[in-house]
C-alpha cells in the first residue's frame, strides 16, 4: 500500500491530550474526532490537513493516556500514516490495532521538513521524500505484530479464535 501526501511536522513528546483533548472523548466517531485532531496543540489545527497527508512526529510520539481515540482521530482527520523518531508504547500498539501505518525512523526525521511531499510504502517501510529526493528506511515492524497485521488486524485475529 502506497500513500502520497504532504508532511505535517510536530515536535517531541506529543501527548495524547495534544492529539485529542479529553473533553472530546464523549464520542468514538472517527469523523467527529478527526475534526478535533491536534486541537490540544493549536485550535483549528486539523483544518490544514488534506486527505492523504502524513504526520511526522519527534521522539516518544503519543505519550500519555491509553485512549484509542488518538489514532482514530488521526485516521479520521484524513492522515493514513505517522512517521516518528520513536513512539510511546501504548500508542504504538493502538495504532496497529486501528490500522494506522506507523513508521519509526529515529534521527532520519531530520531529513523531512514541514510541507515536504512524501511517498510512503507501508509494505516495505520505505519513505521517499519527493521534495528532496531522500530515501529513508524505517525500522522493521516486530514480527508478532506483522503477523497480526497479516491476519487482518487484532479484531480478525481474535475473531478466528472465538469462532
Partner 1 sequence: MAKTLAQKILQRHSLDEVGTAGQIVCCKTSMVLANDITAPLAIDSFRKMGAGKVFDRQKVALVCDHFTPNKDIDSAEQVKKVREFAREMGIVHYYEGGNVGVEHALLPELGMVGPGDIVVGADSHTCTYGGLGAFATGMGSTDIAAAMALGETWFKVPETIKVNIIGNLDKYTTPKDLILYLIGIIGVDGALYRALEFTGSIVDEMEIEGRMTMANMAIEAGGKAGLFPADDKTVAYCLEKGFENPEKIFSDDGALYCREVKIDVTGMSPQVACPHLPDNVKAVDELERVKVDQVVLGSCTNGRITDLRQAAEILKGRKVNRDVRFIVLPATPKIFEQALEEGLINIFIKAGAIVGPPTCGPCLGGHMGILASGERCLATTNRNFKGRMGSLDSEVYLGSPMVAAATAIAGEIIHPGKV
Interface positions with partner 1 (CB under 8 A): 13, 15, 17-18, 21-23, 25-28, 40-43, 59-60, 63-69, 71, 86, 88-90, 93-94, 97-98, 142-144, 154-155, 157-159, 161-163
DSSP letter for each residue of 71-127: HHHHHHTT--EEEES-B-HHHHHHHHHHT-EEEE-GGGGGG--TT-EEEEETTTTEE
CB of 152 to partner 1, least distance (A): 11
**Quick one: 101 or 118, whose CB is closer to partner 1?**
101
**Quick one: 133 or 143, whose CB is closer to partner 1?**
143
CB of 33 to partner 1, least distance (A): 11
- CA–CA separation, 2 and 122 (whole Å): 6
**Quick one: 56 or 118, whose CB is closer to partner 1?**
56
**Quick one: 133 or 160, whose CB is closer to partner 1?**
160
**Quick one: 115 or 142, whose CB is closer to partner 1?**
142
Measured CA distances, 71 to 23, 42, 95, 100, 128 (Å): 16, 18, 5, 7, 23
The contacts of residue 100 (CB under 8 Å, 6+ apart) are 71, 74, 75, 80, 81, 82
Secondary structure class of 67 (helix, strand, coil): coil
84 has which bridge partners? 57, 104
CB of 121 to partner 1, least distance (A): 25
- CA–CA separation, 157 and 160 (whole Å): 5
CB of 61 to partner 1, least distance (A): 10
Amino acid at each position: 500500500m502506497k500513500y502520497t501526501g504532504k508532511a505535517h511536522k510536530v515536535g517531541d513528546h506529543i501527548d495524547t491530550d495534544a492529539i485529542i483533548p479529553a473533553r472530546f472523548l464523549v464520542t468514538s466517531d472517527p469523523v467527529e474526532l478527526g475534526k478535533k485532531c491536534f486541537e490540544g496543540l493549536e485550535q483549528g489545527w486539523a483544518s490544514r490537513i488534506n486527505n492523504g497527508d502524513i504526520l511526522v512526529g519527534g521522539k516518544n510520539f503519543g505519550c500519555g493516556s491509553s485512549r484509542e481515540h488518538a489514532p482514530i482521530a488521526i485516521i479520521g482527520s484524513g492522515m493514513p500514516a505517522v512517521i516518528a523518531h520513536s513512539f510511546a508504547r501504548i500508542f504504538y500498539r493502538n495504532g496497529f490495532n486501528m490500522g494506522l501505518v506507523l513508521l519509526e525512523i529515529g534521527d532520519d526525521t531530520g531529513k523531512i521538513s514541514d510541507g515536504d511531499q512524501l511517498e510512503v510504502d507501508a509494505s516495505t517501510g520505505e519513505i521517499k521524500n519527493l521534495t528532496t529526493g531522500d530515501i529513508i528506511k524505517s525500522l522493521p515492524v516486530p514480527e508478532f505484530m506483522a503477523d497480526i497485521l497479516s491476519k487482518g488486524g487484532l479484531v480478525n485475529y481474535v475473531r478466528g479464535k472465538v469462532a
